[in-house]
Chains A and B, each alone.
Chain A
Amino acid sequence: MRFMVIVKASKESEAGVFPDEKILSEMGKYNEELVKAGVMLAADGLHPSSKGARVRFEGGKRTVIDGPFSETKELIAGFWLWQVKSKEEAVEWLKRAPFDGGTEVELRQVFEPEDFGANLTPEMERLRARLEAKR
């Protein structure tokens, strides 16, 4: 299963202030560990919202609103995509990240095609496999 790990924005990230060298170095090593473990699928940082925009949808009307956006709490600054076997594995990996200062980082499972339609849930898949093995 895949998890998106979402790093929220801060006053610093919105101001385009780069984290100091020590943190960058630690984050670099952390990302390396994720790659070496075969867990890392993607990792990207986002430019401050001053470089972004929003589009508002109302019926047939489209309104474009340029950044920056003042509600820092609503903004994200970066994300990872991880391939893991369980939510617990994602949590364990995230615990090892070099964040500090009360930062909260969120992880969310990514929808995958199996989650839709008539396909089997992982639980049913396991049951089916178990039954098959008994044949």
Chain B
Amino acid sequence: MKLTTTTVLTTSNTHRAVEAVWRIESARLIAGLARVVRDVGLAEELAQDALVVALERWPESGVPDNPGAWLLAAARRRAIDLLRARTLHGRKHEELGRELEALERAVPDFDSALDDEVGDDLLRLVFTACHPLLSKEARVALTLCLLGGLTTDEIARAFLVPEQTVAQRIVRAKRTLAEARVPFEVPRVAELAARLSSVLEVVYLIFNEGYTVTAGSDWVRPALCEEALRLGRILAELAPREPEVHGLAALMEIQASRLHARVGASGEPVLLLDQNRARWDWLLVRRGLDALHRAESLGGPLGPYALQAAIAACHARARTAEETDWPRIVALYDALAELSPSPVVELNRAVAVSMAFGPEAGLELVDELTDEPALKNYHLLPSVRGDLLFKLGRLEEARAEFERAASLTRNARERQLLLARAAACTAGRS
């Protein structure tokens, strides 16, 4: 059915419409092109060229009825032009031209059976953008660029780095992939678990940057969480039989449910147990619990993300902080510590133990971690220790720990919170 849009199309609202189409279509466009030209850098260039043409033509012609197909056709024409003069990876341009035509014919409408093809291409793109050859920062930038459809400017602002830095990261990443001739494919079964883990790590990194901002003056940046959530939800449909994909989605949905409760009226951080649960987004909680159920239904022992999601679910199921099932959380941390042991997990477990069995028990575990090299500059270690000491009435020691924690955090709001707790030790009240 041919669609026509009748709106007053000024250039600026067409630009916004083009941006919206880009957000919807760019990833699958780049993915489809990448499969044919076998180079994600070139694929993205072609897609960007198509975008430029769209920005030129659509203010006059209107947004086309099938914008994805229009962009693909424009990209194909551009590819033919580029390839006319040279061969690519030893293949003649006629051959590539034919493949691009085939790709164009295969562009799915909503009633096409070729959605699987698109899904496969998107998966290939996901794995390529998160390739272990690339640094974490590069993977994050490339993922947000190729899969999120974000501009380098948007990525730079999200991570508070200069735009040049992001642009360079992306250029270098593409070059690394091209020079290493990284194939555009879904990893083989033997490597799948490790590669998938890399993908999930990237997505969760993006989420965490929005959930607990490491630097700067904000406590949370919801837009980044939304990007990560979107990527996680997309992944859940691209790889529905992977339990950890649902585990990560569940974890992010539940954590995101607390975004608005985590920030107080004047922008100060509010800790989990102090949050007003009426401000939790119960739609997201529901979605998170459903995703966790999907992970559990796939059978097998829970992986690290699913376990963390299960812990988050324990909090989500408690109507008040007092109703939290701490022993269950301890058990989940026991499982997590066995599966992916780390000093941070041990620290979190110690907190859960202190809530379930008293601050003395928790402090015993925390004291075992004081010499951990990995936690040397981790502000949460002295912060937790300070909290436990405070509860045990050892106020002088608690104050020292809070001050140490304040000196270690790079987040201004968190520093304020910790200094306030230190001051409260002197005043003898919380």
Contacts and interface: CB of A to CB of B under 8 A. Distances in A.
A19 interface: no
A83 B231 CA distance: 12
A35 B237 contact: yes
Given A29-B111, A96-B110, A37 B24 contact: yes
A26 B111 CA distance: 7
Interface string A49-73: 0000000000000000000000000
B23 A132 contact: no
B420 to A, nearest CB: 20
A101 interface: no
Contacts of A84: 20
B48 to A, nearest CB: 19
Interface string B245-289: 000000000000000100001110000000000010001000100
Contacts of B229: 38, 83
A122 B381 CA distance: 35
A41 interface: yes
Contacts of B283: 41-42, 81
Nearest to B1: A100
A113 B237 contact: no
Interface string A107-135: 00000111001110000011001101100
B313 to A, nearest CB: 19
Given A129-B160, A132-B216, A133-B160, A29 B110 contact: yes
A92 B229 CA distance: 20
B19 interface: yes
A133 B216 CA distance: 10
A126 B217 CA distance: 14
Contacts of A114: 222, 260
Majority SS at the chain A contact face:
helix
A130 B3 contact: no
A30 B110 contact: yes
A37 B157 contact: no
B16 interface: yes
B226 A41 contact: no
Of B24, B156, B283, most A-chain CB atoms within 10 Å: B24
A126 B157 CA distance: 8
Contacts of B16: 86, 88
Given A41-B287, A81-B283, A113-B279, A88 B161 contact: no
A89 interface: yes
A92 B226 contact: no
A84 B231 CA distance: 13
Contacts of A106: none
Contact of B233 (A35, A95, A96, A126): A35
A105 interface: no
A98 B109 CA distance: 12
A117 B279 CA distance: 14
Given A118-B266, A119-B267, 9 more contacts: A26-B110, A29-B111, A38-B229, A38-B231, A41-B283, A89-B24, A95-B3, A117-B265, A125-B223
Closest 7 CB pairs of A and B: A38-B233, A88-B20, A38-B230, A89-B20, A113-B260, A129-B157, A36-B237
Interface of B: 3, 5, 13, 16-17, 19-21, 23-24, 63, 67, 110-111, 119, 156-158, 160-163, 216-217, 222-223, 226, 229-234, 237-238, 260, 265-267, 279, 283, 287
18 contacts: A33-B110, A38-B233, A42-B283, A83-B226, A83-B230, A85-B226, A88-B13, A88-B16, A88-B19, A91-B20, A92-B63, A95-B5, A98-B110, A112-B260, A125-B223, A129-B157, A132-B216, A132-B217
